[in-house]
């Protein structure tokens, strides 16, 4: 008997996912627990195993298509078997007062009556499109009723809308003759390359939404400072040589930050309405630069981990983030964030506080500078620091005290390595 496998919720609050690659083609054989498809959520790319053994009768969507949680992901049965509907799912009663909605999630495709369009028998035709596709069509001024969908069962995809929008832009008005006059402002000169419209990737859309929400709702304050990193660099080199590993700077910075989080718990908290939730665990996020965009991987319980364990986790999470192989729970839930922009040659900046937290520390690249040491002028590696925090929760004086303790620890690592 053919069985439908619905897209499960594989992450916190997941409502939809984009099909990246089918690992088993239609008509192919799949075993139970064998990965059948690769999908992209807001942050991760994950493989989903089949719960059944059998033949893949139908894919629930094409590669590049977005489907909602609870939608049919794949139908599996026996070779040559005709696909049948799941018997225990009741069919919705026909309605003559409003267009029916397929499924119960607002992320799934809706069937909308096309104004003025009818089938041969006089009944209205239907347009199938996901809400995000319909929004894109509205933004581009594209009429969905004029598009022939290329998705399953005639569903209109993002690619269909984009193609229609480009065709509309390129088409001339009826009866319009080509003009040899000078181009009007904003138009493309003859012979020049046209601007390219690039749809944002799912990850970039997620980053944009999170950044906009954080910037709009959190009143940011950023304080800047520098630290003499002489001892920090020496300790980093000594530990790397002793244990024959490449010790990431993030590992030492995290160990230096944890005592400050313990002393000033407002920096390890979440503002929830009129309440401040102070977290007892220190889940430190590390910003990772990946080819697809910025990801924040989370080191759980950083306060109880030795520095070499944190170093190993930084390397593992960094590799996993760049490969897009981390699980959703490894990319969420941080209570404080460290961003090492020095790894890409950065100095000071104004980091944006991740939504749901109250602070983020950015560490720049250490460079040789003149410093005064006990009244004597010397040359030392100086590391820039930038601390952004939520001014609703943390006042300026508290921010300076937190930064002072972090600097004290970084200038003498024995203070936090002995703990």
- Please state the three-class secondary structure of 81-130 as a single string: CCCCCCCCCCCCCCCCCCCCECCCCCCCCEEEEEEEEECCCCCEEEEEEC
Query: Are 311 and 251 spatial neighbours (Cβ–Cβ below 8 Å)?
Result: yes
What angle in degrees, to the nearest 10, is found between the helix axes of 249-263 and 230-243?
Answer: 120
Which tokens is 47 given?
Answer: 């493989």
CA-nearest of 370, 374, 393, 394 to 382 is: 370
Query: Are 30 and 76 spatial neighbours (Cβ–Cβ below 8 Å)?
Result: yes
Would you state the pLDDT for residue 396?
A: 94
Burial of 348 (0-12, 13-18, 19+ CB in 10 A): middle
Q: Which residues make beta-bridge pairs with 39?
A: 19, 46
pTM confidence score: 0.63
Residues sharing a CB contact under 8 Å with residue 274, sequence separation 6 or more, in sequence order:
none
Would you state the pLDDT for residue 198?
A: 84
Would you state the pLDDT for residue 99?
A: 34
Report angle CA 380, 339, 303 to the nearest 5 degrees.
95
Q: How far apart are CA 3 and CA 418, in angstroms?
A: 59
In the 8-state DSSP scheme, what is residue 151?
S
CA-nearest of 256, 279, 291, 281 to 363 is: 256
Would you state the pLDDT for residue 119?
A: 43
In the 8-state DSSP scheme, what is residue 241?
H
Query: Are 324 and 286 spatial neighbours (Cβ–Cβ below 8 Å)?
Result: no
Q: How far apart are CA 382 and CA 226, in angstroms?
A: 6
Residues sharing a CB contact under 8 Å with residue 52, sequence separation 6 or more, in sequence order:
3, 5, 30, 32, 76
Query: Are 360 and 351 spatial neighbours (Cβ–Cβ below 8 Å)?
Result: yes
Q: Per-block average pLDDT, block size 10, for the chain (419 residues)?
A: 85 77 91 89 82 90 88 87 51 38 31 40 57 72 84 74 75 50 57 82 84 92 93 92 91 95 97 95 93 90 93 93 87 93 83 95 88 79 94 96 96 85
Would you state the pLDDT for residue 181?
A: 52
Which tokens is 152 given?
Answer: 């399953």
Can you list the domains of the chain with their CATH numbers? 3-77 (2.40.50.100), 110-168 (4.10.320.10), 220-417 (3.30.559.10)
Q: How far apart are CA 215 and CA 22, in angstroms?
A: 37
The catalytic residue positions are 391
Would you state the pLDDT for residue 124?
A: 45
């Amino acid at each position: 008997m053919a069985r439908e496998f619905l897209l499960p919720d594989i992450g916190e609050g997941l409502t939809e996912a984009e099909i990246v690659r089918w690992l088993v083609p239609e008509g192919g054989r799949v075993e139970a627990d064998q990965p059948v498809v690769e999908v992209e959520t807001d942050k991760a790319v994950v493989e989903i195993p089949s719960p059944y053994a059998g033949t893949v009768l139908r894919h629930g969507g094409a590669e590049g298509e977005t489907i909602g949680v609870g939608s049919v992901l794949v139908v599996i049965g026996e070779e040559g078997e005709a696909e049948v509907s799941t018997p225990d799912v009741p069919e919705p009663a026909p309605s003559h007062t409003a267009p029916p909605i397929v499924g119960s999630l607002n992320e799934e495709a809706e069937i909308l009556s096309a104004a003025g369009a009818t089938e041969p028998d006089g009944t209205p035709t239907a347009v199938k499109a996901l809400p995000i596709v319909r929004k894109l069509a509205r933004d581009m001024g594209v009429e969905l009723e004029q598009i022939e969908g290329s998705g399953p069962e005639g569903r209109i995809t993002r690619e269909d809308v984009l193609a229609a929008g480009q065709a509309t832009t390129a088409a001339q008005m009826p009866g319009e003759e080509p003009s040899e006059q000078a181009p009007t402002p904003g138009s493309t000169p003859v012979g020049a390359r046209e601007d390219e419209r690039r749809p944002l990737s799912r990850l970039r859309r997620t980053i944009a939404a999170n950044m906009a929400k954080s910037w709009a709702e959190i009143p940011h304050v950023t304080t800047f400072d520098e630290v003499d990193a002489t001892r920090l660099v020496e300790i980093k080199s000594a530990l790397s040589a002793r244990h024959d590993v490449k010790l990431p700077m993030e590992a030492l910075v995290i160990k230096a930050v944890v005592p400050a989080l313990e002393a000033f718990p407002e920096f390890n908290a979440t503002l929830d309405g009129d309440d401040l939730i102070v977290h007892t665990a220190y889940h430190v996020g590390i910003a990772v630069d990946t080819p697809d965009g910025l990801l924040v991987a989370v080191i759980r319980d950083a306060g109880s981990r030795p520095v070499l364990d944190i170093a190993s986790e930084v390397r593992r999470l960094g590799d996993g983030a760049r490969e897009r192989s981390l699980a959703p729970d490894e990319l969420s839930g941080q209570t404080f964030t460290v961003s090492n922009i020095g790894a890409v040659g950065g100095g000071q900046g104004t980091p944006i506080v991740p939504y749901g937290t109250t602070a983020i520390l950015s560490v720049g690249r250490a460079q040789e500078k003149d410093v005064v040491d006990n009244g004597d002028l010397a040359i030392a590696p100086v590391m820039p620091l930038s601390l952004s925090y939520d001014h609703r929760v943390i006042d300026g004086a508290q921010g300076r005290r937190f930064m002072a303790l972090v600097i004290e620890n970084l200038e003498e690592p024995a203070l936090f390595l002995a703990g």
